Structure 1
Amino acid sequence: MAVAQLTPFEQSKDKNYTANYSEIIAYYHQLAANYPQMKLMNYGMTDIGKPLTLIVLSKDKVFDPALIKKQNKRVILINNGIHPGEPEGIDASMMLSRDLLKGNKLPADVVVCMIAVYNIDGCLNRGLSRISQNGPRAYGFRGNSRNLDLNRDFIKADSRNALAFEQILNTWQPEVFLDNHTSDGADYQYVMTLIETQKDKQNPILAKYTSETLSPELYKRMKKSGYEMVPYVESEKGTPDSGIVAFLETPRFSSGYTVQHNIISYITETHMLKQYDKRVYSTYDFMDHLISVVERDHQQIGRLKQQADASVAQQKTFALDWDLDESHFDTITFKGYEFGHKPSEISGLPRLYYDRSKPYTKTIKYYNTYKVTATADKPLAYVIPQAWGKIIDLFKLNKVTMHQLSHDTTLNLQMYYIADYKTSQRPYEGHYTHSAVKLNPVQMKVKFYAGDYVVYTNQAINRYIVETLEPQGVDSFFTWNFFDSILGQKEYFSDYVFEDIAADYLKHNADLQKKLDAEKAVNPKLGASAAMQLDFVYRNSPWFEKTYLRYPVGRLLTDTKLDLN
């Protein structure tokens, strides 16, 4: 293979071919063999049994992440093939790597890291599955080998792919992240659309820079390249004419997870109906421009990242969920196609169609304001029993600083009781997720054990800590069923035995008798049911288990001297 050999995409006559997994890895190995500024590194093991391959491009041949940080260089992490049916980033990254190396164009102050293909599982499952997409001729499948959508897996990390990704992210600690995708949905004139971290959930220090400097520069440069961009087209009421809505990427998504680490994050979404070669070349141009602007602003981006980290370490209140604010909107110029309805040849009923012979340029509404619907004030520290091993493992992977109790300790702290919640009726990504969580906070003494973990909330990674551990969070660990075992009662009573015990207990506890009588007066069902009354006494007695519905992670609100390892 020649040093500057064309990629499999470039070799195809119609430019409608995407490289398969073996071609991708072989191409990068050959490139690395000829250029010492490039190195392949394998991380973890994905669900399909192959390691995640990271391509690192470093102008001065430094491949030590710690040394790169000491040199005050920026790191960009680019993710490709999370949905292998959307492979533009795979082919574009192969070409861009070669061109940067061959042309001696690697930036001096930016190290570029590219995940060659993230969903290796889906990439190997090659065929046709995205019927609404215009090429390439064959491509991978959206789900991985466990049929997980990996772009819904970041915060819960069910897949080994996600664990390998989190190892990469927390080893290289990029300041900028990009995930390459292909859109679906409406038809319009643009080849490229863009998702940027929603401004109301991004750290304000970073949001000011991205909204005022970085994003406008990327839009300007892409237009000059011939690929004018528009924000990702998610329609408010079915078609773009009604307005489009800024995508809210919560932590289940790649960019929602990376923003918890105070990383500037983007998702490219090329349009599914445009020719494949145009989608690839537009992705190439976007990555090239992003690298160039980050190189230009590397010092400023470094300072802003440090400021954001320091700010989050001191932040007291954290947003946990958001809703679209439909009362506020911007206006943008949008280039679309007229749409209409005509009888379906299948059903005879009206069907939507777009008429490409009737392009238009209109001013439309862009809804880009979200209001916070749930918040939590951080405690001084969280106390996590060591029994919850997956949480401990994920915290370690995400470089959360933790300490362990050196001996058994009874702490006076705030515990949550789960007062109410809703659970989805159908599984979503392998989980019956919880929502609408209501909490009853109680200050109480709880015994913790030697080896249990104490997590102080004075860290740059506070958003990850708080958003995962506060049960009411949209993508909290509670939402994703990490704690479902606490939702089941473990001990009960034999009614004929407890009858005598309960009667005696009521004789010696007049207040409980009054409480029972008052409840019977307003609840006829209780008054008519001996079993319900017995259960009422049991639940208000010292024999009822204190751990039922008690969220096991404690919130330490006051500065308490602890013996820690």
Structure 2
Amino acid sequence: MFAAITLALLAPAVADLPRSRAEQTDYTETSRLDDVNRFFSDLQQHSDFVRVGSFGKSREGRDLPFVVLADPPVAHPRDARATGKPVVLVMANIHAGEVEGKEAVQHLARRVVAGDLKPLLGSLVLLIAPVYNVDGNEKIDVMNRTAQNGPVAGVGVRENADGLDLNRDFMKLDSPEARALVGLFDRWDPLLIVDLHTTNGSYHGYHLTYSIPLNPATDPRLAVQHRETLIPALARTMSDRHKFRTYYYGNFSGANPRPLAADGLSWQAFSPAPRVGTNYFGLRNRFSILSEAYSYMTFRRRVEVTEAFVEEIWKYVAANAAEMTEVARRADADAVRRGRTGPPVKIGAAHRPKALSAPVDILVGEVKAVRNPRSGRDMTAMVEDKFVPLRVPDFGAFEATRTVDAARMYLFPPGGTGKAAADNLRQHGVVVEELTAALTADVETVVVEGITRGEKPSQGHREVRLAGQTRAGRATFPAGTVVVRTAQPLGTLAAYLLDPESDDGLTTWNVFDPDLAVGRAHPVARLRGDVRLAAKVVGGP
């Protein structure tokens, strides 16, 4: 009788909890920004553990929503640090046509506030950026991503208001959204970041695929923890507890395997470039996971599998917080040590896919056409449990074909392109200094012998690749010269951004273009020796 009375008393409160737009429309629609803001505002009225706000503005001036779930309540990074609990950030809707993450984080937050996931607040501080690409989200239309299996009422667009792919903007930081998000990383320092997406490619037999940091410059300890411990544990729980099939994100080389034959086919991971968020976070010495729900499942099922995946990630971090925190701490400490005494980290100047040690069975899925009653177009629908294994090489990693040793310090003039470079570095949270007295030292410079620019614009740029000759010599740098030491936790990221030969640095993204000419030295000099200098920190992140 007591249990019955208790349930009766709780029922109205549970019934009053907000529901996502997907739930309200039987998964025919996805949430607009106002729906998401209303959901979390309503949820906050049910719990003191919810804090809502904005971490920045979009190009069109919309607030970028931000939610903190914590017990005791947390509204500021210093309060989160005071709890001693690791911070986990889940971001959704970076591509606003890939919408199930946006719905899943609403459902998960409700479970944390008033359901089965509430115990997680004893171990974690949970951050949620539910609609990162807010401008793209408001362009919902039935003619966007028409091959995707719902929601039938339409989705947003991939790019932000400037036509930029926000998941290619983590190095150059062209967009106000990326600058705001990186600022959030600097302030809150999440131990793990989860980035929620939808596939857009091969017909496979998995409900969800995932990726981890793929750049070879990622701290080795962090890379091993991802591949040998974290991901295998998640794959097991997704199968055992939720009955979902998962594997590493990739696509078949060439066309989808029709007819079914392995000849010449392989499974290919996407990119090691740190312009992509998952790889970028790894260079910050933090854990990161890319989640890709299979776009040919129904919208409802994509929300379900994404929700289950994030749930298991949270549970894993809660159970392994001490070990993961120590791995990140040692990665930070090693970055400082390498910048001071070496050996230096190797920055990739070029990369190629690397096959795993043995071929693997990749599940090839069956699909069918289903008419969308709103658009009149055919959607592609997964035929559940119709798949066959195909044994192929798995190029699930990358290796550098050419590297350059990171310098102990990078020096460059403070004006013009140097100011733009320094501003970018500070936005990333890299410590930037300037000489307070002239310095004479042995340095390396790269003398440009050839400049190759991309034939077509990419993300508003024509990417630059340099051919050059490294020359050593003694040089004098006047007071005011910008100095960036790699003996700092973000030293690997700083070197990747600044080194003239980096394959995804500021040179790639045209920051130094006005100073580049054949026969001329690149403006950024490398200092490798143990040199004492007089300098002061400039500005802040």
TM-score in same-fold range (> 0.5): yes
Q: Distance in 2 between matches of 1:330 and 1:47?
A: 46
Is the contact made by 2:293 and 2:306 (CA closer than 8 Å) also made in structure 1? yes
Give the direction of change, closer, same or farther, for the CA distance of 1:304–1:373 in structure 2 (3 Å limit). Answer: same
Give the direction of change, closer, same or farther, for the CA distance of 1:71–1:359 in structure 2 (3 Å limit). Answer: closer
Matched, 1:215 2:231: yes
Match of 2:484 in 1: 455
- TM-superposed CA distance for 1:332, in Å, is 2.9
Matched, 1:33 2:45: yes
Q: How does 1:63-462 map to 2 (within 5 A)?
A: 63-103=75-115, 104-127=118-141, 128-136=143-151, 137-198=153-214, 200-224=216-240, 225-239=242-256, 241=262, 242-315=265-338, 316-321=344-349, 323-325=351-353, 328-337=356-365, 359-387=387-415, 388-409=418-439, 411-435=441-465, 437-450=467-480, 452-462=481-491
Stretches of structure 2 lacking an aligned partner (at least 5 in a row): 1-12, 339-343, 369-379, 537-541
Structure 1 residues 58-90: Cα deviation after superposition (integer angstroms, max 9, x where no partner): 122133323433443111111111100001110
Q: Which amino acid aligns with 1:92?
A: A
- TM-superposed CA distance for 1:278, in Å, is 0.3
Is the contact made by 2:17 and 2:42 (CA closer than 8 Å) also made in structure 1? no
Is the contact made by 2:168 and 2:276 (CA closer than 8 Å) also made in structure 1? yes
Give the direction of change, closer, same or farther, for the CA distance of 1:143–1:338 in structure 2 (3 Å limit). Answer: closer
Structure 1 residues 136-193: Cα deviation after superposition (integer angstroms, max 9, x where no partner): 1211111111111111111001110110011011111111111100111121232211
Q: Which amino acid aligns with 1:405?
A: L
Percentage of identical aligned residues: 24
Query: SS where residue 44 of structure 1 aligns?
Result: strand
- TM-superposed CA distance for 1:264, in Å, is 1.0
Instruction: Give the number of aligned pairs.
Output: 494
Larger Rg: 1
Out of 463, 482, 496, the position equivalent to 2:511 is 482
Structure 1 residues 310-334: Cα deviation after superposition (integer angstroms, max 9, x where no partner): 1222231323145335565433333
Q: Distance in 2 between matches of 1:95 and 1:354?
A: 24
Give the direction of change, closer, same or farther, for the CA distance of 1:77–1:356 in structure 2 (3 Å limit). Answer: closer
Structure 1 residues 509-565: Cα deviation after superposition (integer angstroms, max 9, x where no partner): xxxxxxxxxxxxxxxxxxxxxxxxxxxxxxxxxxxxxxx732112222333332223
Match of 2:375 in 1: none
Match of 1:549 in 2: 520
Stretches of structure 1 lacking an aligned partner (at least 5 in a row): 341-351, 490-547
TM-score (structure 2 length as normaliser): 0.85
CA RMSD in angstroms comes to 2.5
Matched, 1:8 2:50: no
Is the contact made by 2:209 and 2:248 (CA closer than 8 Å) also made in structure 1? yes
Q: Distance in 2 between matches of 1:380 and 1:355?
A: 55
Give the direction of change, closer, same or farther, for the CA distance of 1:369–1:287 in structure 2 (3 Å limit). Answer: closer
Out of 56, 60, 68, the position equivalent to 1:48 is 60
- TM-superposed CA distance for 1:51, in Å, is 2.6
- TM-superposed CA distance for 1:449, in Å, is 3.4
TM-score (structure 1 length as normaliser): 0.82
Is the contact made by 1:329 and 1:369 (CA closer than 8 Å) also made in structure 2? no
Q: Which amino acid aligns with 1:380?
A: R
User: Runs in 1 of length 4+ with deviation above 6 angstroms?
Assistant: 352-358
Is the contact made by 1:193 and 1:231 (CA closer than 8 Å) also made in structure 2? yes
Is the contact made by 1:199 and 1:207 (CA closer than 8 Å) also made in structure 2? no
Q: Which amino acid aligns with 1:121?
A: D
Q: Distance in 1 between matches of 2:56 and 2:414?
A: 24
Query: SS where residue 27 of structure 1 aligns?
Result: helix
- TM-superposed CA distance for 1:205, in Å, is 0.8
- TM-superposed CA distance for 1:390, in Å, is 2.5
Q: Distance in 1 between matches of 2:276 and 2:97?
A: 17
- TM-superposed CA distance for 1:404, in Å, is 2.0
- TM-superposed CA distance for 1:259, in Å, is 1.0
Q: Distance in 2 between matches of 1:466 and 1:556?
A: 12
Query: SS where residue 157 of structure 2 aligns?
Result: coil
Give the direction of change, closer, same or farther, for the CA distance of 1:473–1:289 in structure 2 (3 Å limit). Answer: same
Give the direction of change, closer, same or farther, for the CA distance of 1:396–1:180 in structure 2 (3 Å limit). Answer: same
Out of 475, 488, 493, the position equivalent to 1:464 is 493
Q: Distance in 1 between matches of 2:75 and 2:367?
A: 52
Is the contact made by 2:451 and 2:466 (CA closer than 8 Å) also made in structure 1? yes
Is the contact made by 1:330 and 1:367 (CA closer than 8 Å) also made in structure 2? no
Give the direction of change, closer, same or farther, for the CA distance of 1:330–1:354 in structure 2 (3 Å limit). Answer: farther
Q: How does 1:478-557 map to 2 (within 5 A)?
A: 478-487=507-516, 549-557=520-528
Q: Which amino acid aligns with 2:358?
A: D
Q: Distance in 2 between matches of 1:199 and 1:143?
A: 24
Give the direction of change, closer, same or farther, for the CA distance of 1:249–1:413 in structure 2 (3 Å limit). Answer: closer
- TM-superposed CA distance for 1:260, in Å, is 1.1
Give the direction of change, closer, same or farther, for the CA distance of 1:357–1:27 in structure 2 (3 Å limit). Answer: closer
Query: SS where residue 449 of structure 1 aligns?
Result: coil
Q: Distance in 1 between matches of 2:133 and 2:229?
A: 32
Q: Distance in 1 between matches of 2:534 and 2:387?
A: 70
